[in-house]
Structure 1
Amino acid sequence: MEVGMIARNQPRPEFTIQIVEAGTAACRLYGPAKTNVADIAKLLGKSPASIYKIFPSKASIWDAIAEDFFESDLCFTAWADGDLASVADRLKDTALGYHRLILNALRNDSQMFKLTVLAAEGDWPSFRNYLKRLHNGVGELIRAGIAAEEFLPTNVDLAAACFCASIGVLLDPRIIGALPSSHYEFSAEELVCYSVSALKGIQPNRRAIPISQRPGQRSP
């Protein structure tokens, strides 16, 4: 499903918010696969045609609903300066915080979680924006860690991209929804600590995992 853009020069911006809110309610009620524009219009007491005046397609409505969910329910705010002992701790807390929010959606808001999976699978703008916010937040913390001499000087954008990629199994709804937590031989905290240690330029102290037991590897 291709995701279109929201129509420009929207005549009633407040109506856009109402559509997203009603769409979220309908998605939670019927699920993203069974919800249609008529369901949203019915909740609003409007006609489907009035919704299409704001959004050019059903795909653009779904992307707007997903964007709102990513921003409101899956956006973790990092601790402010001084709340944690070090920048490294703040980075760990941020990564684990995002992971906890996704797990909470999986367990307690299953229909909206399914929508995030669709957004990830379709590479919707809402999912790309989610990754961009995460990347930017991690980059800010890495930059602060370098300034505080906790992390080695490095290319911040590249380091942020590598860090996010290294903990992707904790942040991507496609992976989280498809695999049981027992699939991995490490905990979320272990993985985050391992990735943070690379920014410090030190070798993490943890037990080695036999190659045959690592994700994606099969025993001979």
Structure 2
Amino acid sequence: MNKPTINPGPVRGPADHEVRDQIVSAATEHFRLYGYEKTTVSDLAKAIGFSKAYIYKFFESKQAIGELICANCLRQIETDIRAAVDSADHAPEKLRRMFKAIVESSMQLFSEDRRLYDIAASAATGQWQAVRDYELRIQQLLQEVLRLGREADDFERKTPLDETANAIYLVMRPYLNPLLLQYSLGATDDAPAQLSSLVLRSLSR
């Protein structure tokens, strides 16, 4: 599987500057303690010992900082999903493990780091670039799995690939999208097996 290209969002200055890491670290801690909405750039500047103007040399806004943190959270989920897909040899099992990893990894973020999850939910509400890029990469991974299944004669080929991928993605989306996940919590135990079985039946030749 191809490795994703991550767009961390609008940042300024040298990409590897240690000050940026300090800002992100302080922001992550503040967001965990007080939430994204209640944290201001002034709070971050005070915590690090910099002026607001200096922080703005590296990030154009608080959202830009939040977007980078959000991208890091979503990158971890995506890494888990790709690892699950790569651990199977055949497309049907890849698809089953993809469903399972989506639910488990998303739920882990929701339950273990709720304030950071709230950043991802805000990002989904505002359609931040980090969320759009993440969803696009998951769709591309899904298409790769479907293509492998068709090449191995495991899946039907009559339906256009993009139409099939879009339909399956709509089934996955309540467990992928941070904003929608909170409304799907009651079905997380059985959902991966049930949904993947339903989808695989629809893909049978």
- Report if aligned partners of 1:87, 1:145 keep a CA contact under 8 Å in 2: yes
More helix per residue: 2
Shift of 1:85: 5.2
SS in structure 1 at match of 2:182: helix
Match of 1:26 in 2: 30
The number of residues matched between the two structures is 194
Match of 1:88 in 2: 92
Q: CA separation in 2, counterparts of 1:27 and 1:130?
A: 21
Q: CA RMSD in A?
A: 2.5
Q: Deviations over 1:37-87 (max 9, x none)?
A: 123233433222111111112222222221121113454224466x43521
Could you say if the C-alpha distance between residues 7 and 31 of structure 1 is closer, same or farther in structure 2, counting changes exceeding 3 Å? closer
- Report if aligned partners of 1:167, 1:195 keep a CA contact under 8 Å in 2: no
Higher relative contact order (CA 8 A, sep 6+): 2
1:160 aligns with 2:179: no
Q: CA separation in 1, counterparts of 2:204 and 2:43?
A: 52
Task: Mark the runs of 5 or more structure 2 residues left unpaired by the alignment.
Answer: 1-8
- Report if aligned partners of 2:85, 2:98 keep a CA contact under 8 Å in 1: no
Match of 2:148 in 1: 144
Q: What is the percent sequence identity of the aligned residues?
A: 26
Q: CA separation in 1, counterparts of 2:15 and 2:177?
A: 34
1:176 aligns with 2:195: no
Shift of 1:7: 4.5
Task: Mark the runs of 5 or more structure 1 residues left unpaired by the alignment.
Answer: 202-220
Shift of 1:148: 0.9
Q: TM-score, normalised by structure 2?
A: 0.82
Q: Deviations over 1:11-59 (max 9, x none)?
A: 4632333322332222112111211212323343322211111111222
Largest Rg, 1 or 2: 1
Match of 2:131 in 1: 127
Q: TM-score, normalised by structure 1?
A: 0.77
